[in-house]
Amino acid sequence: MGLENSDIEIDHRHIFHAAPILFLVLKPNPPKYTILDATDAYCAATQTKRSEIINRGLFEVLPDNPADMNATGVSNLRMSLNSVVEKKQPHKMHIQKYDIQVTTENGICFEERFWNPKNSPVLDQKNEVLYIIHHVEDVTASVSMQNEIEKKSKLIEENDARINLILNALLKFTTLDFSERLKTTDKGDELDAIVVGLNSVIDELENHIQLLKNSNINLEYANKELDSFSYSVSHDLRAPLRAINGYSQVLMEDYGNKLDEDGKKTINTIIKNAFKMGALIDDLLTFSRVGKQDLKKVTLSMNSIVDSIIREFTNQEQKNTIEFIVKNLDDVEGDSSMIKQVFTNLISNAAKYSGKKEKAIIEIGSHKEKENIVYYVKDNGAGFDMKYYNKLFGVFQRLHSSSEFEGTGVGLALAQRIIKKHSGEVWAEAEVDKGACFYFSIPIKY
């Protein structure tokens, strides 16, 4: 394409600086971890200048927010970097709250940020760590949006509970046995007391109804903001991703014979991460659409749905053998495509996290429990530590590093959203290295 290879001399540092990815190159010298280089994108995201941060310690440049007594960003990042130096393997961190310093008219202050970091070693010929690549994604906007929606939803639930209490109190007032009470007390005083009580209850009820209306308005606004964010993700991020992927492949095809192994590895990493970002965008859009999509309820043959998913798995290449044990599954009413998505995500997770077992066993079954049918997907894989359970169904939350198990961190959140839309619940039980069991319930009639 264009000029011959002999006419081009590639400036790798210029390419690195211009890459639209948040990269730092660190010296593996704990505890300082000196900054050796940074992309323009990283400097822009952290509001720093390359000339001012080069040859300085990472934590000197980016300290914890001193006003946040519970800040763990520095300590968590230092542990991750130490792990890379000791084990000489990449380490993927969970989403971190890591505020950045900004200069305003009133002086220096800190802005709240959420980052999705990964630290990877660059090894020399002696298998020693030469550099550490610190790669982060700024996920502040999506985390803030999720927190806002959860806050509004919780407020609505609390108001619903208050209204139910008030309605019950109102019901008690309206069912008083007036004839019996009026026989034993002054009629005028008794009626006055009842009227005052009823008026008080009605006033409180009206106040809570207004609060509920305000909460619904705020929630509607948050949903519109989420739609806007999804549109931006869909249209504004895809174009630069295509450019990153396209130009990286052109660079590899046309000038690959001039690159050393480290150069080729760097370009392949860019291409791989561009594809990963594309998959993440697709998952985010699916997650967003589920909230607005209407349910198309039909009677579902759950065994047929699961069988079709398993057939897709058996047609794929697997590093290990998977034994599927499928019990007789109860049928239920629901949206066919949505429920298939839930089973696909749970079975995919079970297969993925059992990938290091010589023989993976995945069991799928169901049972009736009160007014619900409970379905489960059980595996004998890596499992997880139950003390991190509260992160399990969050968007972007991962309990294992991507170097161990690939994924976008959206699958379980999507499954939970779908099941809640069916008026059901999702939960899990697990033990490290002994597998996990994911459950979801759907009301028999809803």
Nearest to 209 by CA among 169, 149, 160, 168: 160
Q: What is the reported pLDDT for 134?
A: 93
> 305 near 314, Cβ under 8 Å?
no
Q: What is the reported pLDDT for 6?
A: 44
Here the tokens at position 229 are 């964010």
Q: Spell out the SS3 assignment of 151-203.
A: HHHHHHHHHHHHHHHHHHHHHHHHCCCHHHHHHHCCHHHHHHHHHHHHHHHHH
Q: What's the DSSP call for residue 430?
A: E
The whole-model pTM stands at 0.45
The contacts of residue 325 (CB under 8 Å, 6+ apart) are 361, 362, 363, 364
Backbone torsions φ then ψ of 122, nearest 5 degrees: -110, 115
Q: What is the reported pLDDT for 286?
A: 66
Question: Taking the CB of residue 402, how many other CB atoms lie within 10 A of it?
Answer: 16
Q: Are strands 96-97 and 436-443 parallel, antiparallel or unpaired?
A: unpaired
Q: What is the pLDDT along the chain (446 residues), one digit of tens a residue?
A: 443 444 556 677 888 888 888 899 999 999 899 999 999 989 988 888 999 999 999 999 888 888 888 888 888 999 999 999 999 999 988 888 888 887 766 677 888 888 889 999 999 888 999 999 999 988 887 777 777 777 777 776 776 666 666 666 555 555 544 444 444 445 455 555 555 656 666 666 667 667 666 666 666 666 666 666 665 655 566 667 777 777 777 777 877 787 788 888 888 888 777 776 776 666 666 666 666 667 778 888 999 999 988 887 776 656 667 889 999 999 999 888 889 889 988 998 888 888 778 788 999 999 998 889 999 999 988 888 777 777 677 654 544 445 444 555 677 888 888 888 888 999 988 888 888 899 999 998 64
